[in-house]
């Protein structure tokens, strides 16, 4: 039986990344992403839905996210859906979250939502891509690359440290994106 657990999201951060270190020294960043869509209801009135998603970023990607990202910055996330269950004060709780395999900064440095001036990739006005496959590959191993490494599909490498925003790559105007 085939199965697939793959998530692609584009949205804006609702707060600055929170970086913590596990007891073994592994960095873990928690991001809160807002994705929006606009539609017309049955009465023809324009409506807007916003979905808030927790995103977990590990290892070097986590440190880079903390260094370069801030509330309001637009990012693309590729990852997998994860389900967490826990008990607090005798009450069972649960939530879904996204474990990021790849994070791409989409807006220009120093533009809307802030960001770090003069950071890596700023010569073209774009922030770096962060990639990885899983496990230890977050640090740059495997085919996913690390900081600025890009992604490899069918022998061709896409991504890297100075990519254009997703809207340019896809040939879609920013005004057509639902957020």
Q: Return the SS3 of 62.
A: helix
For 21, other C-beta atoms within 10 Å of its C-beta total 11
User: In DSSP terms, which residues pair with 54 in a beta bridge?
Assistant: 32
> Which pair of structure tokens corresponds to residue 153?
């599909």
The single residue listed with the structure tokens 């073209």 is 124
Instruction: Identify the pLDDT of residue 72.
Output: 92
**How much of the chain, in percent, has pLDDT values that exceed 70?**
60
Distance, in Å, from the CA atom of 14 to the CA atom of 44, rounded to the nearest integer, reads 29
Q: What are phi and psi of 130, to 5 degrees?
A: -125, 130
Could you tell me the domains of the chain? Answer: 7-176 (2.40.50.140)
Q: Any bridge partners for residue 36, and if so which? A: 50
- What pLDDT, in 10s, does the model give residues 41-92? 999 999 999 999 999 999 999 999 999 999 999 999 999 999 999 999 999 9
Banded pLDDT at 98 (limits 50, 70, 90)? very high
Structure tokens belonging to residue 142: 């495997």
Report, as an integer, the average pLDDT of 81-105. Answer: 93
Q: Which residue has the higher pLDDT, 133 or 175?
A: 175
Three-state secondary-structure class, residue 111: coil
pTM summary value: 0.60
User: Length of the chain, please?
Assistant: 179
Mean pLDDT along residues 1-6: 92
Arithmetic mean of pLDDT over the chain: 73
Q: Which two tokens stand for residue 107?
A: 């807006």
- Give the Cα separation of 87 and 50 in Å (integer): 28
pLDDT of res. 175? 58
Model confidence band, residue 107 (pLDDT cutoffs 50, 70, 90):
confident
d(CA 44, CA 77) in angstroms, rounded, equals: 32
Give the mean pLDDT of 147-176.
Answer: 48
Q: Taking the CA atoms of 57, 156, 148 and 168 in sequence, report the sign of the dihedral they define.
A: negative
Question: How high is the pLDDT of residue 177?
Answer: 54
Confidence band of 172 (pLDDT split at 50, 70, 90)? low
Q: Kindly give the residue spans of alpha helices, DSSP state H, lying in 37-91.
A: 59-68
Least-confidence region, from 19-23, 97-101, 119-123, 167-171 = 119-123
Reported confidence tier of residue 121, pLDDT bands at 50, 70, 90:
very low
Q: Which residue has the tokens 């009465």?
A: 43
């Amino acid at each position: 039986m085939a199965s697939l657990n793959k998530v692609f999201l584009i949205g804006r951060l609702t707060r600055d990344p929170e970086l913590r270190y596990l007891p073994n020294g592994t960095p873990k960043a928690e991001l809160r992403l807002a994705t929006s869509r606009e539609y017309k209801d049955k009465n023809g009135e324009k409506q807007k839905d916003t979905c808030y998603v927790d995103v977990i970023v590990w290892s070097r990607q986590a440190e880079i996210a903390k260094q370069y990202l801030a509330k309001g910055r637009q990012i693309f996330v590729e990852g997998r859906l994860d389900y967490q269950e826990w008990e607090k004060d005798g009450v069972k709780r649960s939530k879904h979250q996204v474990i990021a395999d790849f994070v791409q900064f989409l807006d220009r440095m120093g533009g809307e939502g802030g960001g770090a001036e003069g950071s890596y990739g700023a010569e073209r006005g774009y922030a770096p891509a962060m990639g990885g496959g899983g496990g230890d590959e977050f640090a740059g191993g495997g085919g996913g690359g690390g900081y600025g490494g890009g992604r490899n599909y069918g022998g061709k490498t896409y991504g890297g440290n100075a990519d254009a925003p997703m809207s340019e790559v896809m040939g879609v105007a920013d005004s057509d994106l639902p957020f």
